[in-house]
Amino acid sequence: MIVLAIDTAGTGCYAALYDSSQDAVLGAAGADIGRGHAERLMEFVDAALDAAGVNLAAVGRIAVTVGPGSFTGIRVGVAAARGLALALGIPAVGVSSLAALAADHRTGVPLLVAMDARRDEVYWQLFAADGEAATPPAIATMAEARAIAAGHGGAFAGSAAHFLHDGAPPQADGASIVTVACLGARLDPRDHLPRPLYLRGPDAKPQAGFAIRRA
């Protein structure tokens, strides 16, 4: 099965084609663009398809990161994945950014994945030594996260790991797009629908005093 993987949950915008029957990456494209995911995503999808030498008709599944991460980026990626899956008549699966980071840093010991959520907050999740999730994804204040880290006897990963553990080096937010593709190939579409994983409310709020009176 050929999987088209999409990751727009962070500052990066990436796409890759992965053949699960050969355990091989066929082609990948993307860049750390910061903003403009909606404008660039399909460009990178086309570039990945060209690099793989396949067309969309050959794709059997879409995998997309669903967060936590950038609200706008997540919406762009999930909407694109759903639209492509509907048009092609194939399943789409959602891949947690925290789970992808855990898979990238698996060392055979319990792992605390911590992403910098800004505003002195952290997205976090614990994973067992075998890579299975030990807790659900959550958000915590930096102080709460440090208390959690103090009781953790395993390894650390993610962009907030160095805030929580002195021995952890600074790391990027995003997981490898190849990891997203591999996880997406193994997940059951019935249990991992491509739904945004928002652990915090949106920044945008209605302006007070500008409501229009209904007749």
Lay out the sheet containing 155-157: strands in order across.
138-141, 121-127, 111-116, 155-157
pLDDT of residue 210: 44
The amino acid sitting at 215 is: A
pLDDT of residue 171: 81
pLDDT in tens, 143-190: 999 999 999 989 999 999 999 988 777 787 789 999 999 999 999 999
Which of 28, 30, 29 lies closest to 13 in space, CA to CA? 30
The amino acid sitting at 199 is: L
pLDDT in tens, 100-119: 999 999 889 999 999 999 99
**Rounded to whole angstroms, what are the CA distances from 81 to 17, 22, 126, 132, 193?**
13, 23, 27, 25, 11
What's the whole-number average pLDDT of the chain?
92
**What is the band of 203 on the pLDDT scale with cuts at 50, 70, 90?**
low
